[in-house]
Amino acid sequence: MTQINLSPRRPFIDAVNLSELVEAYIVDARLRVKPHTADAYDYLLAHLLRWWAGAGPPLGYRLDANGWRLFEGWLAQQVSTQSGQPLTLNTRRSCLGRCRQVLRWAYNLDYLDRDFSGDVPSVLGTPAQRAAPDGGQLVRLLAAALTLRDQALIALFIGTGVRRAEAAALDVEDLTFHADGGGVIDVRKGKGNLPRRVVFDTACGEYLSALLDGDGLRIGPLFCGWKGKRLTPKSVYRVVKDACVRAGIDERGRGPHDLRRAFATEWLRHRRDLGAGQLLSMQLGHTSQATSLLYSKQTLDDLQNNFTSPLPDLRKSGK
C-alpha cells in the first residue's frame, strides 16, 4: 500500500549567490553572442535579480518551483522603464525562457548538480494585438514634434519603416538625395549587422532636407542630442514616445516599432501585386516575407474594400 505524502521533499537551489551565477552567465554570453544580444540577456535577467533581492531573504534563499511561480506572478505586475506600460507577455515569456537557459547552462558547466530548468513555469496567454496608428493620428504625431530633428526622425520612421537602432546609427553621409527630393539611405548597421539600402520618397526627403539645412549638418551623426552627440536608441525611443503622448495617441503609437507597423500596413494596403511582400521585406530588412506580413495591421475595412469571391462570376456563367 502506498500512502499519500502531504509533505514531499522538493529539490531546491541554495541561491545565496544567484547574482554571481547570473553575472558569470552574462560574461560567458558576451564571448559567444553579439553585444546587443548579450545586452538583451542582461536586461531580461535584471528582472530576476531585482525580484530576488527582495524575495530571497524571506524565502531563506531557497529557490524551488514555488519560488519560480512567485517570480512569474511578480513579473506580471511590473512596468517597463521605457514605455511606462506593464511588461508585455512576450517580454515576460522571454525573461522566463532566459532563466531556463541560465539553469541549463549552470548544470552543463557544473555550477549546479542537476538541471532545474523544468521548475521555471511558462507564461500562458496570447499577446495582445497591436493596431497601427492611422493617417489622422500620424498627422497629429508629426505636428507634435517640437524640433526639426524630431520631425525628421518621426518622418523617417513613418516614411521608411527603419528600426530605431538603425536610425540612431545613421550619418549624414548615409543619405543620397535624388533630383525629385526622394532618395536612398545606406543602413550600415542593420539588425544582425547586415547592411542594406532603403528608399525614401519626396515627402520624407523634405523633412530630412529641412533638418540638414536648418541645423547646418554636413557630416557626422544625423540625429544629435546634447552637445552634438549622437542620439542613442533609447533617446530615439524617448523622442517618439514623448511626441505620441503630446499627440494623444500613446496607445496607438507607443514608439518607433509602432510606426514601423504603420509603414508596413500602408505599404500592403496600397500594393496588391504579388511582389509587394518581397519589396516590403527588402525595405524592412527581413529575410522572410512571412515576418514582414506580421507587421501589417490591416483591418476589417481593408478586407471589405478589397473582398472578392467567385460567386458573381459563377452566377454570370450560369445564365
Domain boundaries, the chain: 13-119, 135-300
**pLDDT value for 159:** 94
**pLDDT value for 149:** 96
In the set 98, 269, 286, 297, the catalytic residue is 286
Domain 13-119, what fold? DNA polymerase; domain 1 (1.10.150)
> pLDDT at residue 142 above 80?
yes
**pLDDT value for 301:** 78
Task: Work out the percent of the chain whose per-residue pLDDT is above 90.
Answer: 61
The confidence band for 295, taking pLDDT boundaries of 50, 70 and 90, is confident
**pLDDT value for 300:** 76
> pLDDT at residue 296 above 90?
no
In the set 260, 261, 269, 297, the catalytic residue is 260
> pLDDT at residue 3 above 90?
no
Mean pLDDT score of the chain: 88
Q: Please state the rounded mean pLDDT for residues 13-23.
A: 96
In the set 163, 241, 254, 261, the catalytic residue is 163
Per-residue pLDDT of 248-286, as tens digits, reads 887 665 789 889 999 998 888 887 777 788 899 999 998
DSSP assignment of the chain, as one string? Answer: -----SS-----EE-TTHHHHHHHHHHHHHHHS-HHHHHHHHHHHHHHHHHHHHHTTTTTTEE-HHHHHHHHHHHTT-B-TTTSSBPPHHHHHHHHHHHHHHHHHHHHTTSSSS--GGGSPPPPS-PPPPPPP-HHHHHHHHHH--SHHHHHHHHHHHHH---HHHHHT-BGGGEEE-TTS-EEEEESS-GGG--EEEEE-HHHHHHHHHHHHHHT--SSBSSB-GGGPBPPHHHHHHHHHHHHHHHT-TTT--SHHHHHHHHHHHHHHS--STTHHHHHHHHHT-S-HHHHHHH----HHHHHHT---SHHHHHHHH-
In the set 189, 191, 230, 238, the catalytic residue is 191
260 classed as catalytic: yes
295 classed as catalytic: yes
The confidence band for 7, taking pLDDT boundaries of 50, 70 and 90, is low
Least confident of 30-34, 95-99, 186-190, 307-311: 307-311
The grid coordinates listed for 107 are 548544470
Q: Please state the rounded mean pLDDT for residues 213-233.
A: 92
Task: Work out the percent of the chain whose per-residue pLDDT is above 70.
Answer: 92
The confidence band for 120, taking pLDDT boundaries of 50, 70 and 90, is very high
In the set 25, 41, 207, 295, the catalytic residue is 295
Give whichever of 111-125, 240-254, 269-283, 286-300 has the largest mean pLDDT. 111-125
163 classed as catalytic: yes
What is the b/e burial string over 54-70, where b = at least 16 CB atoms within 10 angstroms of the residue's CB?
ebbeeeebebeeebbee
**pLDDT value for 121:** 94
286 classed as catalytic: yes
> pLDDT at residue 319 above 60?
no
135-300 shares the fold of 13-119: no
The confidence band for 84, taking pLDDT boundaries of 50, 70 and 90, is low
Residue with the bigger pLDDT between 250 and 237: it is 237
Class (C level, CATH) for 135-300: mainly alpha
**pLDDT value for 10:** 79
Per-residue pLDDT of 66-77, as tens digits, reads 999 999 999 999
**pLDDT value for 102:** 97
**pLDDT value for 198:** 94
